Amino acid sequence: MNTTKRDFLTVWDLSSEEIDSLLKRAIELKSGKDANKCPLIGRSIGLLFEKASTRTRVSFEVGIYQLGAQSIYMNPKEIQIGRGETIHDTAKVLSRYLNAIVIRTFSHHTLLEFAHYSSIPVINGLSDLHHPCQALADLMTILEKKGPLNGTRLAYIGDGNNVANSLIEAAARTGIHMTIGCPKGYEPDPDVLEKATSVSKNEIVVMKEAKDAVFKADVVYTDVWVSMGQEKEAAKKKMKFSRYQINSKLLSYADRDAIVLHCLPAHRGEEITDEVIDGPQSAVFDQAENRMHIQKALLEFLLK
Ligand code: CP
Ligand code: NVA
């Protein structure tokens, strides 16, 4: 077992200083610095995805190519995991071929188990509990658009899901002041909230009313109401969340220069209106682009 390997399963796996240096490096990479250097030449990075993906898959595949490495996409249905081979054996075998692996899975427990048996870095490409690569790209976008993160006011409106959990951890690590507006029963994970509020120098507060959460925010963020794997709950959730849509009226409670973020894919007309997502305050496509730059910085860091 390689005892020096570093995983990235949640935002807590990086210190505040490491996040800071990854953000700086990602901004350098985005500017074109080192575009012709291939620091990961000869390496192979696996992508094991149990769920659909556009941004995570393509941004990793292109980023890996730009770093000089090879990516190998695996659908669990087409490898022996789909026929019952254990995570334990799969992790040990893939560690003999690959230099790192990105995993998108239903249960966060699968990631923990894989990371335990693997001797290579494991990166969380989304689980039911966390989406830490997304949170890093969100920090990069906020830094680019609003300046230093410490003290920035971020309002997350909607479901207390994987994206919200990672964003809370990212806020706690960077001194962002965060309000979460969500219906009762759909709050973020209590363990995530407890740890984040104990670590954070600034407030992280859950509120019932969307407009209270958005009041004077610098950044207004939302995600889908029905995440992958929750399709059976769709009708009930859509009713519960109808007052949590990011529309022009709700946005008017935020700071007049506030930006709007969404991890995408969006369900236009549900959690966000066309006029907001396509409007002048929206930074969602820069945010999507930043997935690639920050993940390149993360791969350089984990494989250095
Ligand atoms: N934001 C995000 O992770 O998008 P994908 O599901 O398309 O990867
Ligand atoms: N919360 C969403 C995020 C998709 C990127 C989901 O898990 O489906």
Quote the CA–CA distance of 129 and 168 in Å, as a whole number.
12
Cβ neighbour number for residue 232 with a 10 Å cutoff? 9
Q: Is 2's pLDDT higher than 90?
A: no
Considering the domain architecture, whether residues 195 and 265 belong to the same structural domain is answered as yes
pLDDT recorded at residue 274: 98
Residue 197 in any domain: the answer is: yes
Segment 40-50, tens digit of pLDDT:
999 999 999 99
Is 52 strand, coil or helix?
coil
Q: Is residue 3 part of a domain?
A: no
Separation CA 164–CA 176 (nearest Å):
14
d(CA 77, CA 94): 16
Q: How far is the CA of 108 from the centre of ligand 1 (A)?
A: 17
User: Is pLDDT at 100 greater than 70 in this prediction?
Assistant: yes
Q: Which of 6, 28, 47, 59 is nearest to 289 (CA)?
A: 59
* Residue 138, C-beta contacts closer than 8 angstroms, at least 6 positions apart: 167, 170, 221, 261, 263, 287
The reply to whether 48 falls in a domain is yes
Q: Is 287 a catalytic residue?
A: no
Can you tell me the distance from the alpha carbon of 291 to that of 269, in angstroms, rounded to the nearest whole number?
25
Residue 3 binned pLDDT confidence (cut-offs 50, 70, 90):
low
For the cut 60, the answer to whether the pLDDT of residue 125 exceeds it is yes
Encode pLDDT of 167-211 as tens digits: 999 999 999 999 999 999 999 999 999 999 999 888 999 999 999
82, 25: one domain: yes
Average pLDDT, the chain: 97
Q: Are residues 205 and 272 in the same domain?
A: yes
Contact criterion met (CB below 8 Å) for 181 and 213? yes
Q: Is the pLDDT of residue 4 over 90?
A: no
Among candidate residues 134, 281, 287, 295, the one labeled active-site is 134
Residue 246: which of 218, 204, 203, 282 has the closest Cα?
A: 282
Query: What mean pLDDT do residues 3-25 have?
Result: 95
The phi and psi torsions of 29 (rounded to 5 degrees) equal -60, -40
Whether residues 75 and 119 fall in one domain: yes
Helix (H), strand (E) at residue 48: strand 44-49
- 97 plus 112 within the same structural domain: yes
Q: Quick one: 192 and 258 in the same domain?
A: yes
Q: What residues have CB less than 8 Å from 247, skipping those under 6 apart?
A: 272, 273, 275, 276
155 and 272 within one domain? yes
- Domain identity same for 214 and 256: yes
165 and 32 within one domain? no
Domain count, the chain: 2
Give catalytic status of residue 43 as yes or no. Answer: no
Q: Which of 223, 262, 281, 293 is flagged as catalytic? A: 223
pLDDT of the residue at 232: 96
**5 within a domain of the structure (yes/no):** no
Q: State the distance from the centre of ligand 2 to the C-alpha of 34, rounded, in angstroms.
A: 32
Q: What tokens were used for 204? A: 């992280």
Q: In which domain, by residue range, is 138 found? A: 132-287
**CATH code for position 207:** 3.40.50.1370
With contact defined as beta carbons under 8 Å apart, do 254 and 220 qualify?
yes
Is there a single domain that holds both residue 138 and residue 255?
Answer: yes
Q: Is 223 in the pocket of ligand 2 (CB under 6 A)?
A: yes
For residue 108 and ligand 1, the question of a CB distance below 6 A is answered with no
- 2 in a structural domain: no
Whole-angstrom Cα distance, residue 154 to residue 1?
A: 40
In 3-state terms, what secondary structure has residue 282?
A: strand
The mean pLDDT value for 13-29 works out to 98
279 and 149, same structural domain?
Answer: yes
Nearest to 46 by CA among 61, 56, 59: 61
124 close to ligand 1 (CB < 6 Angstrom)? no
